[in-house]
């Protein structure tokens, strides 16, 4: 019996560090749930890290980050027998497709993309120093998505416009050369960004992020988690992410909506102490992290496992990408241009009665 094919989904991250609680509630939980009913590709977008970190010493950190990131995803329960994990830079067809798609996107369109400006700012890159690579970031991302002919792309809000550009690439391509690419849809995470802990200079009101130094990592030991969570405060300065204090956002994400509402009432009434609230959150977070931590240690001890997972997936991604690229080249006439040259060369060799 032929199994009805599942919708194709593609998502992933730049390898900029180990994954944290913000990733867990913002995207990893979702990936675990979606893997059953979708054919999933998870990209490790190392080419995209080059857009803001092209220096050799910066790229030197990437192999370690790649390993941590894949290990984290396996530890939370993403099953490599269901999901194709792959290394972007090891799929050459993606570079080719990106060049072809660049012909279809007006430069002015890319100059409007706000996320690129904030990435440039975060990398201390002035407008004048903005590279072609960073400007074309969404086009490369479109190549990732379209090469897999994915229709569902789970991303954060900051990537919404990139997916709109991928759609535009697909529809312009289809219009010019015939239907090849299904139009991808962004699937924006329902959970709001998790605030960071107050260990970094940004404090706990900012979004949890590795670069702000305010993250609780999936691999952090319990004592470290407790110390970090104890910095969460319940004051107005904490409410930069919305109208709720960081402490309550943690309670909602890890204890529950109703419990968070109770906690707020009790804190406001003074019937619960801040220390008790920290203990409640610490217990809930550690209950989530304990099995992840345990699996992470077992998987990390299986030498070469993470690497093999990535190699297997990349080989599969190459097949898929080569197939799509061949169809795109065909549709554009590039393939027949080359094969025409080859055919004429072969005919000449034959007439000459000497092989080419
Ligand atoms: N842009 C994503 C990020 O913010 C990473 C990424 C690259 C991606 N290619 C993708 C996400 C394709 C989804 C689909 O890190």
Nearest to 314 by CA among 99, 102, 70: 70
Return the CA Rg of the chain.
Answer: 24
Q: So what's the pLDDT on residue 223? A: 96
Tell whether the torsion through CA atoms of 136, 137, 140 and 142 is positive or negative. negative
- Going by alpha carbons, the residue nearest to atom 14 of ligand 1 is 11
Between the CA of residue 123 and those of 18, 305, 315, what are the distances in Å? 19, 33, 32
Which residue out of 43, 152, 163, 211 has the highest number of ligand 1 atoms within 8 Å of its CB and is therefore the one to mutate? 43
pLDDT digits (tens, 9 = 90+) for 39-72: 999 999 999 999 999 999 999 999 999 999 999 9
For residue 352, pLDDT beyond 90: yes
What is the helix (H) or strand (E) element at residue 306, kind and residue range? helix 305-332
Q: Are 321 and 254 found together in one domain?
A: no
Q: 182 in the Ramachandran plot: left (φ > 0), alpha (ψ -120 to 50) or beta? A: beta
Any domain includes 207: yes
Same domain for 14 and 59, yes or no, is yes
Ligand 1 centroid – CA 158 distance (Å):
10
**Which CATH number does the domain housing residue 95 bear?**
3.40.50.620
Whether 19 and 119 share a structural domain: yes
Confidence (pLDDT) at 1? 54
Ligand 1 center from residue 162 Cα (angstroms): 9
- Whether 276 and 292 share a structural domain: yes
- Mark whether 87 and 175 lie in a shared domain: yes
Tens of pLDDT, residue by residue over 100-124, are: 999 999 999 999 999 999 999 999 9
- Domain range spanning residue 53? 8-191+304-343
Query: Is 3 contained in some domain?
Result: no
Residues 247 and 106 both lie in one domain: no
Q: Is the CB of 144 under 6 A from ligand 1?
A: yes
User: With 90 as the cut, is the pLDDT of residue 242 above it?
Assistant: no
For residue 204, the model assigns a pLDDT of 61
Do residues 15 and 161 share a domain?
Answer: yes
What is the rounded distance in angstroms from the CA atom of residue 204 to the CA atom of residue 164? 31
- Same domain for 13 and 84: yes
pLDDT number for residue 237: 60
Residue nearest to atom 8 of ligand 1 (CA): 12
208 assigned to some structural domain: yes
Question: Do 128 and 217 fall into the same domain?
Answer: no
| 54-69: b (≥16 Cβ within 10 Å) or e | eeeeeeeebeebbbbb
**Residue 231 CA to ligand 1 centre (angstroms):** 31
C-alpha neighbours within 13 Å on the C-beta side of residue 350 = 6
Residue 214 has pLDDT above 60, yes or no: yes
Confidence of residue 235 (pLDDT cuts 50, 70, 90): confident
Instruction: Establish if 156 belongs to a structural domain.
Output: yes
Q: How far apart are CA 198 and CA 206, in angstroms?
A: 9
CATH of the domain at 250: 1.10.240.10
Q: Measured between alpha carbons, how far is 296 from 72 in angstroms, rounded to an integer? A: 7
Total number of domains constituting the chain: 2
- As a whole number of angstroms, the distance between CA 328 and CA 333 comes to 9
In a domain, 196, yes or no: no
d(CA 7, CA 206): 35
In a domain, 350, yes or no: no
Pure H helices in 178-304: 222-229, 246-254, 257-269, 274-301
């Amino acid at each position: 019996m032929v199994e009805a094919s599942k919708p194709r989904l593609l998502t992933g991250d730049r390898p900029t560090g180990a994954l944290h609680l913000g990733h867990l509630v913002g995207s990893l939980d979702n990936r675990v749930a979606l893997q059953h009913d979708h054919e999933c590709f998870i990209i490790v977008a190392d080419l995209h890290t080059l857009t803001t970190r092209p220096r050799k010493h910066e790229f030197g950190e990437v192999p370690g980050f790649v390993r941590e990131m894949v290990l984290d995803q396996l530890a939370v329960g993403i099953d490599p027998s269901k999901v194709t994990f792959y290394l972007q830079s090891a799929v050459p067809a993606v570079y080719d497709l990106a060049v072809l798609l660049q012909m279809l996107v007006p430069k002015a369109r890319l100059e409007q993309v706000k996320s690129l400006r904030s990435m440039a700012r975060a990398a201390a890159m002035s407008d004048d120093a903005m590279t072609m690579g960073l400007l074309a970031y969404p086009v490369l991302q479109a190549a990732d998505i379209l090469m897999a002919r994915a229709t569902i792309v789970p991303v954060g809000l900051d990537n919404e416009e990139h997916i709109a550009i991928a759609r535009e690439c697909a529809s312009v391509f289809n219009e010019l050369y015939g239907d090849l690419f299904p139009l991808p849809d962004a699937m924006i995470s329902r959970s709001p960004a998790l605030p960071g802990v107050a260990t970094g200079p940004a404090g706990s009101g900012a979004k949890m992020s590795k670069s702000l130094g305010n993250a609780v990592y999936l691999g952090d030991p319990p004592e470290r988690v407790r110390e970090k969570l104890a910095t969460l405060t319940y004051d107005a300065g904490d409410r930069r992410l919305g109208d709720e204090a960081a402490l309550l956002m943690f309670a909602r994400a890890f204890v529950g909506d109703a419990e968070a509402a109770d906690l707020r009432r009790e804190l406001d009434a003074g019937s619960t102490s801040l220390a008790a609230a920290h203990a409640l959150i610490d217990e809930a977070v550690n209950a989530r992290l304990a099995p992840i931590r345990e699996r992470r240690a077992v998987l990390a001890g299986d030498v070469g496992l993470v690497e093999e997972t990535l190699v297997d997936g990349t080989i599969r991604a190459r097949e898929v990408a080569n197939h799509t690229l061949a169809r795109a080249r065909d549709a554009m006439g590039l393939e027949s241009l080359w094969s025409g040259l080859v055919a004429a060369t072969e005919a000449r060799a034959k007439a000459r009665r000497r092989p080419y």
